Amino acid sequence: MSSLSRGDRVALVSPAGPALPSRLAAGVRVLQSWGLEVTTPVVTPWSLPYLAGSDAARAEEFVAGWCSDVEAVFCVRGGYGCLRMTDLVPWKDLPPRVFVGSSDVTVLHTELNAVGLPTVFAPMPGTSDFVDDPLAQARLYSVLFEDVRSWTAGTPVVPGVARGVLTGGNAALLAAGVGGPRWAPPPDGAIALLEDVDEEPYRLDRILTQLLRAGWFEPVSGIVLGSWTGCGDVSSVLVDRLGSLGVPVLGEFGFGHCAGSWSLPLGVEAELDASVGTLTLV
């Protein structure tokens, strides 16, 4: 993956919900302390306050930020809205950029990875998961500036080794996209990263069952499970739905909506050793 250097210009965009101005300002200060020149988004008030503007306005801002003279594009936050504007973006025409986001932004990761652009699943500068978490900040910095290529964490659920392209993100958003006109399954041999937040165990069961019934896991050669904050005890659900797929599964890996979240690349090849808890780019 491409890395960043001090002095690089980056664009912040709002493809989903609007960020609190004070929180975004704090996030911008962190990025500036890394030596980055930051362009902030323009939020246009709209009739639906949970969106940072109309679908057309958010898509236009995303494309304009991406196609400007920048090295990277950061989403300020998730929430909801990315799924509404994917058909308004010319994905195949976008030049290479470093891209950072998570949660609802899973939808955009999927689109970008599908056209061969790698991305980074990471806490966003307009969220408390970034602004109030120095460890999460440091872990994102290490991916963007120091080209870290290996992570060790987690607990084996199903031991074994897998090698493939990293894919996935937020489980609910992946399930929301299955069966749609733009949906495609993971690449053959992919290693799936999955996390979620505030989903009751039965709802997570439904999400995973929907993915299973859609055949989403059929090409997958390994699974890495992140955080399930606010979901209660979902360990039995995860084992029941994923433990019999015949692929290595590594749990509690510490990415997603959690303290000190790892920032992990998507759309690049890696090796998973679920027996010892390592994920390594190859």
Whether 244 is a known active-site residue: answer no
- The beta strands (E) that lie in 5-160 are given as 9-13, 37-39, 72-75, 98-101, 119-121, 150-152, 155-158
Measured in residues, the chain has a length of 282
Choose the catalytic residue: 14, 61, 102, 103: 103
What is the spatial distance between Cα 122 and Cα 74, in angstroms, rounded to a whole number? 10
- Output the six-digit token pair for 93: 């025409």
CA 17 to chain centre: 16
Whether 142 is a known active-site residue: answer no
Whether 257 is a known active-site residue: answer yes
Choose the catalytic residue: 14, 61, 227, 257: 257
**CB contact set of 162 (below 8 Å; sequence gap of 6+):** 189, 191, 221, 222, 247, 248, 271, 272, 274
Helix (H, G, I), strand (E, B) or coil at 273: strand
- The beta strands (E) that lie in 87-144 are given as 98-101, 119-121
Catalytic residues, by residue number, are 103, 195, 257
